[in-house]
Structure 1
Amino acid sequence: MDAEGAAGSAARDRDPSGRAQNQRPRDRLGRPLPHGAEGVPRIPDDAVFTPQEGLARAQELLDDGYAFHAHEVLEAVWKAAPESEREMWRGLAQVAVGLTHAQRGNAEGAARLLRRGADRISDYGAGAPHGVDVLGVAAAGREAAAAVEGAPGAAVDPARIRLRRAG
């Protein structure tokens, strides 16, 4: 590692155990801003959500166009989920990251993650836990993937993702 790389890693934010963290503020699309800049409120790295809290908060964020931040909520639920549900939460988080890439103009990355997330959640089927509409989310994710591939730079609305089954 060169001197610049060593200096850069030494300046990284770290948690009490020395694990690297990024505490820089972020913009609406989740891109890091310089220290001291005003960003949007962040989901803390140590946030814990129950499945119902996570679904509600992630849906609010998606509805407001904050796909990256919805991903952080879904990732927090994934990390605390029982083994039998982890792939579902991981897939939901990947769909949100795919939407983030679409919002940032990265059509290739968006399509890849949207499809990967859709594939990961589809096996849970109509009876997915916590009322999650995995079939609807998977269909919307694949539709968004096709849209960004067909027209790179096409607007993708995160609010089209409905995490819970109707009713």
Structure 2
Amino acid sequence: MNGRDRDAEGRARSARPRDGLGRPLPYGEAGVERQPEGVVREPAETVREAQRLLDAGMPFHAHEVFEDAWKSGPQAQAALWRGLAQLAVGLTHAARGNTVGGSRLLRRGAAGIEGLGGSYGIDVPGLVRWAGELADRVAAGERIDAAAESPRLLGAP
């Protein structure tokens, strides 16, 4: 064994603590609790949990929630969850100061959900607008605060 963190199937896992944007911290430092992987949630629960994490300035963790839905949900909804995961990762990169990756992933996520119906009450047109506007600001070099920029997933009630 080479001392690397591995799961039961031998896949690499990092046990290092992470901050709210998913960046690894030195061993022994307090980090934020990681999202458990492979959780199967109802769509409404996925949206609620992801929104909670986005509002808390933790888009990296919200991306993991969307990724679980993408991988465990019906194939017909995979594009929606994948696009939302890309938006969350785009916000993560933007907040980390990665202007190129942030703007690209925001645009890729927006393109992935554009034209999809408003499944589960998700405001797809509003998210596409939000992502485009944010991507422009990120590409222009604007510093982004993840919590302040968190999108509203659901449309008006």
Greater mean alpha carbon deviation, residues 11-20 or residues 51-60: 11-20
- Contact map agreement 1:137 1:162 (CA 8 A) in 2: yes
| Distance 1:45-1:34 versus aligned 2 partners, 3 A rule | farther
Q: 2:144 aligns with which of 131, 155, 158?
A: 155
SS of equivalent residue, structure 1 residue 14: coil
Alignment of structure 1 residues 30-45 onto 2, 5 Å: 30-45=22-37
Aligned length: 156
Match of residue 113, structure 1, among 98, 105, 108: 105
Alpha-carbon distance in 1 for matches of 2:146, 2:47: 18
Partner of 1:130: 120
Q: Tell me if 1:77 matches 2:66.
A: no
1:100 counterpart (89, 92, 108): 92
Provide structure 2 residue ranges, at least 5 long, that are not aligned to the other structure: none
1:52 and 1:98 map into 2 onto residues whose CA distance is 22
Query: Deviation per CA, 1:6-65, whole angstroms, max 9, x where unpaired?
Result: x8xx32211111122223211121101233321011101233322111100110111111
Q: CA deviation at 1:112?
A: 0.2
28-37 or 84-93, larger mean C-alpha shift: 28-37
Return the offset for 1:157: 4.4
Equivalents in 2 of 1:55, 1:140: separation in Å? 17
2:45 corresponding residue in structure 1: 53
**CA displacement 1:61-107 (0-9 Å, x = unmatched):** 11111111111111111111111110110000000000001110000
Q: Percent identity?
A: 49
Cα 1:22–1:45, aligned 2, differ >3 Å: closer, same or farther?
farther
Q: Answer whether contact 2:59 2:146 (CA < 8 A) is retained.
A: no
TM-score, normalised relative to structure 2: 0.91
Structure in which a larger fraction of residues adopt helix: 1
Deviations 1:119-161, CA, capped at 9 Å, x for gaps: 000120xx322111111111101110001112x1422545441
- Unmatched runs of 5 consecutive residues or more in structure 1: 1-6
* Counterpart-to-counterpart distance in 2, 1:94 and 1:115: 9
